Structure formats: C-alpha cells, structure tokens
Structure 1
Amino acid sequence: MSFDPASLKYDDRGLIPAIAQDAQTGEVLMMAWMNAQAVTRTLETGKVTYWSRSRQAFWIKGETSGHVQELVDFRVDCDRDCLLVRINQTGPACHTNRRSCFYTAVRDGEEVELMTPMSD
C-alpha cells in the first residue's frame, strides 16, 4: 500500500507534530511541526524538513547550523495525528546547543537542568 501524506490528520493550520528520536539510542531529541509538503520533502530527500510556525517557511534541520538530521525511519502513530522520525543526528538537536530539547526535568516540584550545552 503506498503512503499518501493527505491521509494524515493535520490540525486546523495544516500541521502535524513530528517527534525526532535518535535511531541508535532511542533518545527523544525534539518535537517540531510538519505540513504535508514537509512530509513529502522529508521522504523524498532523507533530510528532515519541518514547517517553522514563526517564520512561516520550510526549515531543513541543520541547513544553517550543520546539525543535520538524516532520516532513518518514518513512522505514523495509530491515530495518524503524530509522526515519529527516527534519525541520525549530527551535533546538538536543540537550538540551545544541547543534545536534546528535553533537558529540563521537574522533580519534587523543582526544575532541574539535566544537560549543559555541547561544546563545538
């Protein structure tokens, strides 16, 4: 059965959340948004492409920073309203220069920073 990006359930802005996961370790690195064209571009090029809500433009991860995401596996959840992109990540995934965007934990009611920025 061939895949059709139109078969996904997008929100009222035409977007769907995409979770980026390290294909080797299973670590969740970030979440960003895709539209149907970003999905198509990602699958066609193997370069993970998101839709930037603030810039209203396509965003190929790593295009300016060099911290690229190479697509390894593209998955659709059971409700077809969320994506999982399993990737090979070069450098940090987070714009704060951390490996993951999920570097803050809440423990005993306090925020705890779990990782520091990576050095270049």
Structure 2
Amino acid sequence: MTSERKQREEGNQFLPKFDTTGLITAIAQDSRSGAILMVAFMDAEALARTRETGLAHFHSRSRGRLWMKGETSGHVLRVEAILVDCDQDALVLQVEPAGPACHTGAANCFYRRLEGEELTRID
C-alpha cells in the first residue's frame, strides 16, 4: 500500500478523491429519518461552498455549473454532518431538508421500486 493510499484510507487528513472528471459522489441522507434523499455529484467548488455555507451545493452535469439545492424551489438541504467513505471517493451529507428533496415534488428521489421490468411508486 502506498503512503498516499494509507494516509487516505487510514489517516485523519481530508483528501477527497475526485474522479477523472473532477467529481465525487455525494449522497444526501435525512439526518432524522435516515432516508436516502438523493444522489448527486460535487466538484471542489461545490464541496467548498457546502462547507462554507452549511447548505448543500452540487455540480450539475446537465447545466455544467455549480448549483445550490433549493436555489429556485426554496427546498434547501441544511448540512449537519459530512461522512467520508474509506477511500474518500464518496460522501454522505446528513441533512435537514426544507421540503421535498426531489425536483418532481416527491419527498426523495427514490420513490419507485423495480418490479420485473416495471417501476412501481412506493411513496
């Protein structure tokens, strides 16, 4: 194991491992219920803005820019804690949502279950 890998996996220094496109996976989890609300991506700027403001910011791949969750709807995600996985290439944002997390108006983005070849609503 290289010293960089050892430091990343066992050390106490925050060394986020962005992918080749400069992104890291970020999972938003309701801090009270434990429900997974959404999965998005952060670049270094989104991570920095999230840490500075306490509000979840992401990199929108479709818009090609930084966006704050709830910037138009008001349904912001207040970040209470950031958990970092073992090799620092994924984050869990434990959040307090101010309304539905999904752009469809559903409480979270995981409102359907795959049953055979069909999707069934579960919310």
- TM-score range, shorter-chain basis? 0.7 to 0.9
For 2:76, give the aligned amino acid.
V
Between Structure 1 and Structure 2, how many residues are aligned?
113
Is 2:70 aligned against 1:62? yes
2-structure distance, mates of 1:108, 1:65: 34
TM-score (norm 1): 0.88
1-structure distance, mates of 2:12, 2:111: 37
For 2:30, give the aligned amino acid.
D
Aligned to 2:102: 94
For 2:55, give the aligned amino acid.
K
> How does 1:37-116 map onto structure 2 within 5 Å?
37-115=45-123
1:107 to partner: Cα distance = 2.8
TM-score (norm 2): 0.86
Give the structure with higher Rg (CA): 2
Calculate percent identity across the aligned residue pairs.
45
List alignment gaps of at least 5 residues for structure 1: 116-120
Deviation digits for residues 57-103 of structure 1 (CA, Å, limit 9, x no counterpart) = 11101111010100110111011110100000011100111001011
1:110 to partner: Cα distance = 3.4
1-structure distance, mates of 2:13, 2:39: 22
Aligned to 1:17: 25
2-structure distance, mates of 1:87, 1:15: 20
2-structure distance, mates of 1:35, 1:3: 18
Is 2:52 aligned against 1:26? no
- Which runs of structure 1 show a deviation greater than 4 angstroms over 4 or more consecutive aligned residues? 1-4
